[in-house]
Structure 1
Amino acid sequence: MERVTVNEKKLESGLLTFVFPFALKKSSERKLAGVLADSGYTRFDLGQTDLEDAFYGGERVSHRDMEHYFLPFITKFIFPKSREGAGFQRYSKVLNVSALLKTDNVSVPFSLISVDVIVCPFQLGLLSVRTKVEDLPYSEALEFASRFRVLEDRTPQDKKAEVLCDGSTFDQVDDFLFESVVPEVPPFFDFSVVSDSHFETLPYFVDERVYVQGTFVLSADELIENADLFRAGQLDGLNGDGNPRVECSSLDYLARYVSEQCYDRWAPDTYYVCDQHSFCLITTENGGRSRQLASQMYGEYYYGLLINLFYKIVLLKFSNEYSRVKLEREDEKIEDLVRAINHFISKYYFIELAPQTQGREVFTQLRHVFGTRALYEDVKDNLASLFQYQDKFASNRNGHLLTVLTLYTVIGGIYGMNQVIEDLKGNIDWGKMSSYSLFQYIALFVTFSGLLVGAIMTVASLVKWYKEKRRQKEWV
């Protein structure tokens, strides 16, 4: 049987954006925004056209085109006009730093173009780092993407990579990023999401291997093959001997993968590949066309990826919280989760994102790869289960409350009041109670305990009403 072979390709340029989702401390959004502003970050405003070429290393992204690309209700979410607006609050900073990723068998020089910190709803943050590599073999660009996306060392192969920048050497990518590139962000990490883990040390919702969005511009005379597309989706770079690597030997499997994971509307010159950990554009078009494609990947498709990644993480978060509240059976936590899910579904989750055919097809592919639809249906089932539990809990609670009130009403009103009510009028003669019979003591106890129970229930209702108002304000 014929096996898969790899033909090395010449890469003109590679634009690689690494997206790191992290858990954000509760109610720290305003403080983080202030810290970023003091550190030289610029809040992204779609109305500021002077920012169209500010963060992309020479590429230009049309703000007008981005606004028209998405449906209006999505635009309000991903491009809020004010700092107080709900949605993606993006803060960007230009870096233009040269660095080197070094492994046992290759050293890849790269440019660190810029960085985004995006504060999202539901205590979620997204950190995006834009990098660029040029004039090197395609395999080395894939190797760079594969190694740089590993924040923490887990395997012996991971530990062979290090980053050299400004005379300093960093043994792990997360050290390079959080000590040198974005030292402002780690103080706002919420480490409670990994409190139950044995080996996880970073507050990410998926794992320490982050998402990669790549634009690979090959030489115009190259022919894009199925193996090249598969390697882009899997980020297969180099093997231990320094040769091009492809983790597949079956041509049939390769063909099925390309058929399912690739968007080939502009084949054979341009392909989009969607996988669990990567979304890549591979093209042999150069000049103005390649710049147009790069602009789109930095603009419309970048936000399309962020939206779908946001959907996946929030839905996973809801599923995890559902499993916890189902065991804990705490009424307030259940109400908060129900409110959060309803808020997300009504305000943020939309099936259609873009009116153009190309956008719909690419975003549908991303949603399919992320499994967002299945997660959404699971969360909807969980929501229905929570409603059933709330109804049952409320019915039981109201039944118990009615029983207590009925007992006090009957005993206190009919029996208790007839026994001791005359002695409790005007100036009470407490000494008279020393001659009470057993039944009169019971009646007296029922009377005063009824007053106490009524007072406690009133205070509890007021406290619950106040907490409910406060929780409602959080979702406005």
Structure 2
Amino acid sequence: MHTALLQFIFPFSIKSGQDKELIGRLQQDGFTRFFLDNKDLEHAYYGEGYCVSHEKMERSYLPFAAHVLFPREKDADSFRRFSRVNNLQCQLEMPFQSVHFRVLSTDVFLCPFELGFLTVRVAIEEESFSFSTALEFADRFRTLEDVSYQDKQSFIHCHKKSFGQVEDFVFKNLVPGLEPFLDPAEIDGAYFETLPFFVDERMLVQAFYGFNRGEEPDEISVELRYRASQLDGLNMEGKPYTSASDPDYIEQYTSEHCYSRWGPDTYYMTNEQTFCCLSRAEPEIATQLINQMYGEYYYGLLLSIFHKIVLLKLANLHSRLRINHDYDEIENLIFLINKFSAKFYFLELISQSQGREIFFQLRKVYGNDALFDEVKMTLNDLFQYQDKFQSKRRDTLLMVLTVFTVISGIYGMNQVIEDLKGKIDWSKMLEYSPFEYLALFLTFSGIAVSLGLTLKELWSGIRSRRRKRFYDKD
């Protein structure tokens, strides 16, 4: 191999209402707001020799998608990116070997629905290294918290500092100001986790693996592609391994998860944990492929992850509802589902055919269409329940008002109305009979109930508008 460039992506939840404070902290830590019209940033974050064309990246997406991915300064309902150049020379010490690598840059995205992404951009810097070494590096580095023997025996050395866990290296060295803003609600009830993971303690991996061109036409074999998708690096003995033994299974899995339009020189593998490009193309073409992975494909991957996580969050909110009690939460959930489907989830996002095909494959791998159908069914059920609930509440309200109006109007007012005209002589009430006291009670209670119900409806309307403005702002 001659090149291994990796992007490690960590999705997280942001504490409610903490966006502005987080932006201030990121800028204080040296992060710069990313805008497409700033072309000076095209070469800034990706390492020597690589460039992401902002104009090409914008044209890759249809206008309504580009509006979300590449917002103007004041558009908060979008992907707000902050980036910083790190250029740190580091070393990952693993049980059987050490790998020198460079942290090129770091991205932090603030997205709608209180969601964020952290991306660590890394390049392996070894004169010669094997494909298995690159996969082992990716598998070790993506694990934020140690869960295996290999993880516990791995250390990161950077500027005379050593870190026993990738979590410490990332949140204490690369983005020290981010962790206080992570929403801890995701780890409520967890025994061992210290970070709010959506799936597990591993980051997602986007990678480009550049192979030296050989004479064999099937140099990037089915087994290599399968290993790339599973990040099958080295076993406990330090030898290359594959996490499956059945050749038919490996071939079937690779066929379902491989985009082979430019085979046999270039393949793309996609699954829920990695999106990678394996290529033995000439250097000029390889550079173009890398620029695409840093540019439009990077944003396509983030958008696919965003869709899946938001859909899972909406499904989770629905599962936690107490249907007979959480009426306000039901209304909020209906609003959030409608907002997501109207502003962020579209069948067509990418204008170019090759990018569209890869995006469709990513969406298929993440199961976003099935999740979206499930959420739409949830929305339909909530609408039906809300309609029945509101109809029942209107009927109850009408019945209460009718009963009080009839009884207090016909019975109560006729009994005591004369005593309530003009200047009221309260001493007369001392001479009332029990039925007149009942009539007086019905009169005032009817007025009180009517006022109370009216004020309650007004307050509910005000709260509903406030909640919608709050969620729309987020």
Normalising by the smaller structure, the TM-score range is: over 0.9
Q: Deviations over 1:288-346 (max 9, x none)?
A: 11110000000010000000000000000000000111456311100001000000000
For 2:302, the equivalent position in structure 1 comes to 306
Provide the C-alpha distance between the structure 1 equivalents of 2:59 and 2:137, rounded to a whole number of angstroms. 34
State how many pairs are aligned.
466
Provide the C-alpha distance between the structure 2 equivalents of 1:325 and 1:128, rounded to a whole number of angstroms. 33
Match of 2:415 among 419, 422, 426: 419
For 1:13, the equivalent position in structure 2 comes to 3
Match of 2:154 among 148, 161, 186: 161
Match of 1:42 among 28, 32, 38: 32
Provide the C-alpha distance between the structure 2 equivalents of 1:429 and 1:271, rounded to a whole number of angstroms. 94
For 1:126, the equivalent position in structure 2 comes to 117
Aligned partner of 2:293: which letter?
Answer: M
Provide the C-alpha distance between the structure 2 equivalents of 1:201 and 1:321, rounded to a whole number of angstroms. 22
For 1:278, the equivalent position in structure 2 comes to 274
Is the CA contact (8 Å cut-off) linking 1:83 and 1:89 kept in structure 2? no
- For residue 325 of structure 1, give the secondary structure of its aligned residue in structure 2: coil
Provide the C-alpha distance between the structure 2 equivalents of 1:207 and 1:424, rounded to a whole number of angstroms. 71
Is the CA contact (8 Å cut-off) linking 2:401 and 2:450 kept in structure 1? no
Does residue 216 of the first structure (1) align with residue 209 of the second (2)? yes
- For residue 117 of structure 2, give the secondary structure of its aligned residue in structure 1: strand
- For residue 467 of structure 1, give the secondary structure of its aligned residue in structure 2: helix
For 1:185, the equivalent position in structure 2 comes to 178
Match of 1:342 among 310, 316, 338: 338
Aligned partner of 2:279: which letter?
Answer: T
Q: Deviations over 1:202-232 (max 9, x none)?
A: 1122221111000001112271111110011
What's the offset of the Cα at 1:388?
A: 1.1
Provide the C-alpha distance between the structure 2 equivalents of 1:325 and 1:316, rounded to a whole number of angstroms. 14
Provide the C-alpha distance between the structure 2 equivalents of 1:318 and 1:409, rounded to a whole number of angstroms. 43
Is the CA contact (8 Å cut-off) linking 2:10 and 2:203 kept in structure 1? yes
Aligned partner of 1:373: which letter?
Answer: D
Provide the C-alpha distance between the structure 1 equivalents of 2:189 and 2:78, rounded to a whole number of angstroms. 29
Aligned partner of 1:313: which letter?
Answer: I
Provide the C-alpha distance between the structure 2 equivalents of 1:326 and 1:347, rounded to a whole number of angstroms. 28
Provide the C-alpha distance between the structure 1 equivalents of 2:193 and 2:345, rounded to a whole number of angstroms. 29
Provide the C-alpha distance between the structure 2 equivalents of 1:415 and 1:375, rounded to a whole number of angstroms. 58
Does residue 176 of the first structure (1) align with residue 141 of the second (2)? no
1:331-370 equivalent positions in 2, closer than 5 A: 331-370=327-366
Provide the C-alpha distance between the structure 2 equivalents of 1:328 and 1:360, rounded to a whole number of angstroms. 43
Does residue 263 of the first structure (1) align with residue 269 of the second (2)? no
The unaligned stretches of length 5 or more in structure 1 are 1-10
**Cα pair distance change 1:173/1:375, threshold 3 Å:** same
- For residue 95 of structure 2, give the secondary structure of its aligned residue in structure 1: coil
Is the CA contact (8 Å cut-off) linking 2:225 and 2:269 kept in structure 1? yes
Aligned partner of 1:452: which letter?
Answer: A
What's the offset of the Cα at 1:55?
A: 0.6
Q: Which runs of 4+ in 1 moved over 3 A?
A: 326-329
Q: Deviations over 1:131-161 (max 9, x none)?
A: 0014311111100100111111223332222
Aligned partner of 1:417: which letter?
Answer: M
What's the offset of the Cα at 1:198?
A: 3.1
For 1:87, the equivalent position in structure 2 comes to 78
Provide the C-alpha distance between the structure 1 equivalents of 2:191 and 2:396, rounded to a whole number of angstroms. 43
Does residue 137 of the first structure (1) align with residue 116 of the second (2)? no
**Cα pair distance change 1:95/1:179, threshold 3 Å:** same
Provide the C-alpha distance between the structure 1 equivalents of 2:279 and 2:324, rounded to a whole number of angstroms. 52
For 1:410, the equivalent position in structure 2 comes to 406
Is the CA contact (8 Å cut-off) linking 2:210 and 2:279 kept in structure 1? yes
What's the offset of the Cα at 1:442?
A: 1.0
Q: Deviations over 1:45-86 (max 9, x none)?
A: 011111100110121000011011111110000000114342
Q: Deviations over 1:145-200 (max 9, x none)?
A: 00111111223332222211111111111111001110111111110122133333
Q: Deviations over 1:231-252 (max 9, x none)?
A: 1100000000000111111111
For 1:238, the equivalent position in structure 2 comes to 234
Is the CA contact (8 Å cut-off) linking 1:233 and 1:278 kept in structure 2? yes
* TM-score calculated relative to the size of structure 2: 0.96
Provide the C-alpha distance between the structure 1 equivalents of 2:225 and 2:358, rounded to a whole number of angstroms. 16
For 2:190, the equivalent position in structure 1 comes to 197
Is the CA contact (8 Å cut-off) linking 2:61 and 2:350 kept in structure 1? yes
For 2:64, the equivalent position in structure 1 comes to 73
- For residue 216 of structure 1, give the secondary structure of its aligned residue in structure 2: strand
What's the offset of the Cα at 1:427?
A: 1.9
Provide the C-alpha distance between the structure 2 equivalents of 1:373 and 1:171, rounded to a whole number of angstroms. 39
Provide the C-alpha distance between the structure 2 equivalents of 1:12 and 1:72, rounded to a whole number of angstroms. 37
Q: CA RMSD in A?
A: 1.3
- For residue 136 of structure 1, give the secondary structure of its aligned residue in structure 2: coil
* TM-score calculated relative to the size of structure 1: 0.96
What's the offset of the Cα at 1:398?
A: 1.0
Does residue 437 of the first structure (1) align with residue 433 of the second (2)? yes
For 1:147, the equivalent position in structure 2 comes to 140
Provide the C-alpha distance between the structure 1 equivalents of 2:380 and 2:140, rounded to a whole number of angstroms. 43
- For residue 193 of structure 2, give the secondary structure of its aligned residue in structure 1: coil
Is the CA contact (8 Å cut-off) linking 1:217 and 1:286 kept in structure 2? no
The unaligned stretches of length 5 or more in structure 2 are none
Provide the C-alpha distance between the structure 2 equivalents of 1:231 and 1:241, rounded to a whole number of angstroms. 17
